[in-house]
Amino acid sequence: MRKIAACSIFFAFLILAISAPAFGQVAVSVRFGPPALPVYVQPVCPGDGYMWTPGYWAWDDVDGDYYWVPGTWVEPPEVGLFWTPGWWGWGGDAFIFHEGYWGPTVGFYGGINYGFGFFGVGFVGGHWDGGHFFYNRAVANVNVNIVHNVYNERVTNETVNRVSFNGGNGGLTARPTPQEEAAANERHIPPVGAQTQQVQAARENRDLRASVNHGKPPIAATPRPGAFTDHEVVKAKEAGAPYTPPADRGATAARADANAGASANAGAPAKAIVHPRDLPPAERPTAPNSGNADLDKKYQQQQDKLMAQQQQERQKLQQQQDKEHQQLAKQKADDQRTQQLEQKHQQQTQQMAQRHTQEQQDLQRRQAPPAPRESEGRPR
């Protein structure tokens, strides 16, 4: 019953968060910039077709802290697509994160030197040819015994700083090139499920918090998404610059909303939930302990199966909503239509969260041991 009560409390939190004002163009923003990019080496490419997605600092509203999302090799959603990294930029009163995306050409990513082919403008780590990706060994770490589509083209990189944001005090001053502006209007695909899992795993790892590692994360890059314990995990050699988190970092965080008045609501939750990616990571139920090892194993398999199914549903709904946003952007929809779509997405997310909580509760009830029967010889 304690597990069921915990699920009920968790669901109540979701409802409160989802019910917050969250319509229009919403972005998480922070009053102070992220730490410098750490110094690390690129793990070996795991196989043909994988593309490098550099690590970056993300923000957690709950803890009021930046955390490092390790760089990793990812299979693109389609042949011919490139990854444009996300980036932090000064929005006038706070730093705003611009999420990365897949597209036919690399767009603007703040002029930030992420390394390994992403030196501030475009990408020189490889190119597509005849449906195959060819890797530039001058900047990409590939094993030629595994990957045969390679070439060697020396790249001159004059950028020596490790600044991780554009604009603001101490930030870069890069502006989009005409080619990058054109790329912004091309077809985009949001991060794939493997990338979302990488972010979730990073958020749950306390050692990746900037306040803990001071800009030198113990897991700087992974050979594959989610492989945080793999023997090929790469540690940061050093922090890009000394970092001390502000003492009032939680108080200086801000939520940016294009709708007037949203940021003035001081009583609003830390982060409004509109899309599945806004939901907190799913909490794993307590391991079954009925006293019967075989039965507990069966129960654990049921729990794992349900969690995997619910995670797939989260990803599927997020992809569907992202696609609808892209279609609306192509149509250059007005604010009213955008708000209506956000309301629809918020309702979908709320219904999914409620259904998932109910499914977890139902499963735990079925797994709960039966209540002891009263003795038949008890005096009446």
How much is the pLDDT for 56?
Answer: 98
Neighbours of 309 (CB within 10 A): 12
β-pair type (126-129, 87-90): unpaired
Q: Is 78 exposed, middle or buried (0-12, 13-18, 19+ CB in 10 A)?
A: exposed
Are 98 and 246 contained in the same domain?
yes
What would the DSSP string read from start to end of 233-271?
-B--SB-SS-----TTHHHHEEEEESSTTSTT-TTS-SS
Q: Are residues 64 and 172 in the same domain?
A: yes
Give the burial string for 215-253 (b: 16+ CB within 10 Å, else e).
bbbbbbbbbbbbbbeeeebbebeebbeebebeeebeeeb
Domain boundary among 257, 284, 313: 257
Triad 298, 304, 306: Cα angle to 5°: 105
Q: What is the CA radius of gyration of the chain?
A: 23
Asked if 168 contacts 90 with a C-beta cutoff of 8 angstroms, the reply is yes
Cα torsion angle, 268, 28, 253, 61, sign: positive
Q: Please report, for residues 66, 68, 205, 244, 249, the alpha-carbon distance to residue 61 in angstroms, rounded to integers and kept in the order given.
A: 9, 14, 15, 18, 10
What range defines the domain where residue 276 resides? 1-25+264-363
- What pLDDT, on the 0 to 100 scale, is given for residue 185? 87
Bin 131: left if φ > 0, else alpha if -120 < ψ < 50, else beta: left
CA–CA distances in Å: residue 46 to residues 57, 140, 144, 145, 194 = 24, 12, 11, 11, 15
Q: Does residue 356 belong to any structural domain of this protein?
A: yes
Residues of the chain with pLDDT under 50: 1-6, 8-27, 251-271, 374-380
In this prediction, residue 24 carries a pLDDT of 28
- Shared-domain flag, residues 134 and 281: no
Whether 131 is in a domain gets the answer yes
- On whether residue 379 sits in a domain, the answer given is no
User: What is each CA distance from 170 to 132, 163, 164, 341, in whole angstroms?
Assistant: 40, 8, 10, 37
pTM (two decimals) = 0.62
Number of structural domains (the chain) is 2
Residues 44 and 120 in one domain: yes
- The structure tokens listed for 286 are 């307590």
Residues 17 and 39 in one domain: no
Residue 376 lies in a domain: no
| Any domain includes 163 | yes
Q: Do 294 and 235 have their domain in common?
A: no
Do 52 and 201 reside in the same domain of the chain?
yes
Same domain for 305 and 293: yes
210 and 81, same domain (yes or no)? yes
**In the listed set 217, 235, 257, which residue is the last one of a domain according to the structure?**
257
Residues 162 and 206 occupy one common structural domain: yes
Q: Are residues 192 and 127 in the same domain?
A: yes
User: For residue 277, is it within any domain?
Assistant: yes
Domain boundary among 206, 236, 257: 257
The predicted structure's pLDDT at residue 257:
38
119-157, pLDDT tens digit by residue? 999 999 999 999 999 999 999 999 999 999 999 998 876
Whether 380 is covered by a domain: the verdict is: no
Same domain (yes/no): 134, 96: yes
- The terminus-to-terminus CA distance of the chain in angstroms comes to 29
Residue 128 lies in a domain: yes
DSSP reduced 3-state for 35: coil
pLDDT at 325: 82
d(CA 257, CA 91): 12
Question: For the segment 319-338, what is each residue's pLDDT rounded down to a tens digit?
Answer: 899 888 888 877 877 767 87
Check residue 250 and give its pLDDT: 53
